[in-house]
Amino acid sequence: MIPIRDNIKSRRTPVVNYIIIAGCVIVFWLQLIGVVPPEMAFRPTMLVPGRSPGVENALGALVLSMFMHGSLAHIGFNMLFLWVFGDNVEDRMGHAKYAAFYLICGTIATIAHSGFALLTGGAEMALVGASGAIAGVLGAYFVVFRYARVATLIPMFFLWPIVYIPAPVFLIYWVITQVISLPAGGPVAYMAHLGGFGAGYLLVRVFADTTQPRPPKDPPKPRVTDLRIE
């Protein structure tokens, strides 16, 4: 399922969200032209005493890795999720708190993946992508905007319906796919996704008022629009 938009209008311009998206695009372009090589990315072994390049270097690599991506599809899907869900979370938290929240969730996601990788293998593989931090945004959205609906594109052969799905249903489905995929391993850091989501779910209560979630204005009726590809 691919999110297209939600039905909640932000009350303020999501400046930080725009900066993060622009930063990811710029860093990915720098990767393509060779200015930012894969060697600059964070690796779980950087957390191992005796193999760490130093706290400052490891922290710099960790933050840089949140803006690096492995492919055009990788950055495309990540930025789409951030575009759909990030503006409302920033709206509720405020710009400064949202920036801090994003970086903290990304850091926790990286640590979660690193611990898992050190135990199961793959600790030498570079970790790139904003997925862990964005998962934190999803966790916050799940708490604060549980009454929202997400316009979701569902690829089905030649029919690509767009269906409005309750946000909790969409996000629970996303979490289930990460849990199911975790044992398979591979190049995708599923534990970073789960760690980031858990961090966002818990930390949102520190960064935002969650006592009275603001329901969307004039929620649209569920509908299906069929799109055909010629």
∠ Cα 69 170 19 (to 5°): 40
Is residue 99 a part of any domain in this protein? yes
Distance CA 155, CA 209 (A): 36
Is residue 148 a part of any domain in this protein? yes
Distance CA 178, CA 106 (A): 17
With 50 as the cut, is the pLDDT of residue 225 above it?
no
Is residue 217 a part of any domain in this protein? yes
Is residue 23 a part of any domain in this protein? yes
The residue among 28, 137, 156, 32 whose CA lies nearest residue 93 is: 137
Count of structural domains, the chain: 1
How many residues are given for the chain?
A: 230
The residue type of 223 is R
Distance CA 217, CA 212 (A): 15
Is residue 63 a part of any domain in this protein? yes
Distance CA 193, CA 167 (A): 18
Give the CATH number for residue 7. 1.20.1540.10
Condensed to tens digits (0 to 9), the pLDDT of residues 128-153 reads 999 999 999 999 999 999 899 999 98
Is residue 230 a part of any domain in this protein? no
149 three-class SS: strand
Is residue 201 a part of any domain in this protein? yes
Is residue 75 a part of any domain in this protein? yes
Containing structural domain, residue 40: 2-225
With 60 as the cut, is the pLDDT of residue 45 above it?
yes
Q: What is the mean pLDDT of the chain?
A: 87
Percent of the chain with pLDDT over 70: 87
Look at the alpha carbons of 138, 144, 147, 151 in this order and tell me if their dihedral is positive or negative: negative
Condensed to tens digits (0 to 9), the pLDDT of residues 103-118 reads 999 999 999 999 888 8
Q: What is the pLDDT of residue 229?
A: 34
